[in-house]
Amino acid sequence: MTIAALADRYPMRVVLSDGKSLELRLMTAADRERVLAFARALPEDDLLFLRVDLTQPAVVDDWIRDLEAGLTTSLVALSADALAGYASVHRNAARWTRRVGEIRVNAAPAFRSLGLGRNLTTQIVDVARALGLRKLSAHMTTDQHGARSAFKRLGFTPEAVLADYVEDRSGAPRDLLIMSYDVDGLTDRVDDPLRV
C-alpha cells in the first residue's frame, strides 16, 4: 500500500465481535471536538496512562498540527458520529529516526474486548508500512497488562524497561515499557544489542 492508496482505502467499515459496525477513516482537523469529547469521557484510570493529556484543547491542536505537517497519521473509528477509538503513528523529524514510528491506540471502554483495538492496530501497521517505516514502537507503563498482552499478540516484543521514567497524573512514578515491531520482519540486531 502506498501513501496515495491510503485515500482509496479509507473510509472503510469494520465489524466488531458483537456485530457492531464502525467507520474507520483518516483523522482530520474536523475531528477536534470528537477527540476532546472522547478523552473527557474516559475513566480517570485511563487518563493516568495517556501519553499526552487529550482532555486539553491545546494538546489536541498540537496533534492536528502534526497531522497537517505529516509527522502523524491517525485513524479514527466512529460509531454514529462519536469517536469509539483511534490509532496513530507518530514520526520524528530527525533524519536518523525517519524510518521509526511510535504507535498509540485507544478505544472507548464500551468498545473494548470486541476487536476494535486489534483492528485499529492492524490498520495502523499497514499505514506505517505505506509510509515506508521499518520499525514501530509502543510505549506503556509496566502495569498496563492488557496493552502489553495485546501488543505481544500482534508481534511486538519488549525492548526496554525504564525505571521510574514517567509520572501518572497524580505525580506517582511509573516504569516505562518500550515494545517494538519490525514491520518487514527484519532486524539488524546482533546477539548483544549493546555491543558496538
* Domains located in the chain, CATH noted: 3-182 (3.40.630.30)
Of residues 91 and 45, more confidence is placed in 91
If 0-12 CB within 10 Å is exposed, 13-18 middle and 19+ buried, where does residue 70 land? exposed
Buried-exposed string 122-147: b where 16+ CB fall within 10 A, e elsewhere = ebbbbbbbbbebbbbbbbbbeebeeb
| Residues facing 179 on adjacent strands | 138, 158
Per residue in 126-184, pLDDT (tens digit) is 899 889 899 999 998 898 888 888 888 888 999 999 999 988 777 889 899 999 999 87
Tell me the C-alpha distance between 179 and 157, whole Å: 5
Confidence grade of residue 93 (pLDDT, cut at 50, 70, 90): confident
